Amino acid sequence: MFEILNGTFPVLSLLIALPALAGVLVLAVKPLRIAGRWIALSVSTLEIVLALSAAFMIDWSAKATYQLAETYTWIPQLGISWALGVTQLSLAMILLAVALVPIVLLAAWNEDAENAREGKAGKYAALILILEAFMVLIFSARDVAVFYFAFEAMLIPLYFMIGNFGRNNAKAAAVKFLLYSLAGGLVMLVGVITLYVYADRQAGTFLIENLAQLQLPAAVEMGVFVTFFIAFAIKAPMVPVHTWLPDTAAAARPGTSVLLVGVLDKIGTYGMIALCLPLFPHASVEAATVIIIFALISVIYGALAAIGQKDIMRLVSFTSVSHFGFMVLGIYIGSTVALTGAMFYMVAHGVSIAAMFLISGFLSDRGHTQEISAYRGMQRVTPVLAGTWLVSGLASVALPGLSGFVPEYLVLIGTYKVSPAAAAVAVFGVVLAALYLLMPYQRMFTGPVPADKDKYTDLNLREKVVVAPLLVAMAVLGIWAAPLVNALNPVSDDSVEFFKSGMITVTETERNAK
């Protein structure tokens, strides 16, 4: 079912080992901490070069293929291998992750200088490098056990990034994030163990391409599917298991939120595509209707909740709940067009949400508060900051010509062909999106300038350098979307084939029951 194309050079292992080793060295060797942010910036830049080289090595038109594959025996007694490989989707997510890391490091440059005065020099940058290694690992893992290891291990650097380097109620937010994530991981562990029992009898390994061949009893398949899906729904995040996100985004550094929401939360939607559809096609079909209902609830609830927020970071996080609803809808509606849109959405959302978090952070650094009402009239004082925030928001709400338009259009068109009713509900979410963007913009940036705000400074050179590539990416993805759409089409074709195979089996089961 899957073709494996081995790589001639272990570029994926190098992409994982380089930031992991650099991050550990910066944490362990005290003299290196002083230069920690420079080391992190250098390593993350090299990561971009390596990831781009990987992009030139693969065949973007190949179907049902893991490319640049590496397979090394790790724990033979359990059938676990250090098995890596990328599809077009996983490499796109790796490219997004490695591109955002140096941007986050530059955005936090002055904050890291403050850490030096507190005796924490280089630690935040080192944690970002370690997290980068886990991001690459989880998007390239071909072994389910390795995927699960990365899924759980990435919580360690994230916990410290939120709790030790956050704001306000950072400790409480970090604990809430950890508890939700651990709960999802423990539920998923039950499914992993169940897979091991059946894989030991039939496949002998945890490799995804082998597990896809398993013949699981219907009840077992549904049970394992539920454990995986719950973990991914928490990560995504979907209503009603989303409540950790607003608290975390309000307390974490903007850069931490960028990596968490822009990249790591996509593990939820990525896992649904890369694991749930190929491993549990029959269960995916049977659960699709319920999942679509919860996806639509997420679209509407996330938008309504965003409209009611007074904290700018909570506002941005609730918009993401709504956007993830669109992604999950596109994954489970059973349309290749919608699924391509959902995967495109994962990349486009990562870019626009990164800009919104970072620019909102630049604003709150100036006013020392995240309250939206504290910034009335800022358009006259900080026009570049206000303009870039608006452009990022318009990309997020799918203005034609910017990054969010094509994926949202594809999801809606694909959904309409399958279920006009579901598409109608989703369109209402689009209308609400205009409100949750324009209303806070009006409250923050328009009107007369209060006397105590007229001395605020606009974006400086470093901040403009941080925002510029994100704005360029929004424009490129909005105007020249065809390359990414064409690259993701083979993955959507293969994934929907899994979905259709599940539909056939479900239909045959129903006939036999009659």
Whether residue 181 contacts residue 248, with contact meaning beta carbons closer than 8 Å, is answered with no
> What's the CA gap between 81 and 24, in Å, rounded?
24
Q: If you ran DSSP here, which 8-state letter would residue 105 be given?
A: H
Q: If you ran DSSP here, which 8-state letter would residue 264 be given?
A: I
Stated pTM of the model: 0.93
Whether residue 247 contacts residue 175, with contact meaning beta carbons closer than 8 Å, is answered with no
Whether residue 170 contacts residue 125, with contact meaning beta carbons closer than 8 Å, is answered with no
By three-state DSSP, how is residue 239 classified?
coil
CA-CA-CA-CA torsion sign (57, 11, 130, 40): negative
Amino acid at 302: G
Assigned token pair, 241: 């298991």
Residues 6+ apart with CB under 8 A from 433: 303, 319, 322, 396, 397, 398
312: Cα within 13 Å, side-chain hemisphere: 32
Phi and psi of 203, rounded to 5°? -95, -35
Find tokens 């639509």 and name the residue.
296
By three-state DSSP, how is residue 153 classified?
helix
Amino acid at 10: P
Write out residues in the chain with pLDDT < 70, as ranges. 1, 111-119, 121, 200-204, 452-454, 499-514
Residues 6+ apart with CB under 8 A from 246: 305, 309, 314, 317, 318
Residues 6+ apart with CB under 8 A from 213: 1, 202, 203
Predicted local confidence at residue 202, as pLDDT: 55
> What's the CA gap between 286 and 57, in Å, rounded?
38
Predicted local confidence at residue 190, as pLDDT: 93
CA-CA-CA-CA torsion sign (321, 322, 323, 329): positive
Whether residue 89 contacts residue 60, with contact meaning beta carbons closer than 8 Å, is answered with no
β-bridge partners, 207:
143
Assigned token pair, 181: 């994530």
Predicted local confidence at residue 203, as pLDDT: 56
Residues 6+ apart with CB under 8 A from 142: 66, 69, 71, 83, 84, 85, 207, 208, 209
> What's the CA gap between 261 and 354, in Å, rounded?
8
What's the per-residue H, E or C state across 2-67? CEEEECCCCHHHHHHHHHHHHHHHHHHCHHHHHCHHHHHHHHHHHHHHHHHHHHHHCCCCCCCEEE
218: Cα within 13 Å, side-chain hemisphere: 10
> What's the CA gap between 324 and 331, in Å, rounded?
11
Predicted local confidence at residue 370, as pLDDT: 86
Residues 6+ apart with CB under 8 A from 484: 92, 344, 347, 477
Whether residue 232 contacts residue 271, with contact meaning beta carbons closer than 8 Å, is answered with yes
> What's the CA gap between 427 and 380, in Å, rounded?
34
Predicted local confidence at residue 501, as pLDDT: 63
Predicted local confidence at residue 200, as pLDDT: 65
CA separation, residue 503 to residues 265, 340, 397 (Å): 28, 20, 33
β-bridge partners, 86:
67
The rounded mean pLDDT for the chain is 88
Task: List % helix, strand, coil for the chain (3-state, nearest 5).
Answer: 75, 5, 20
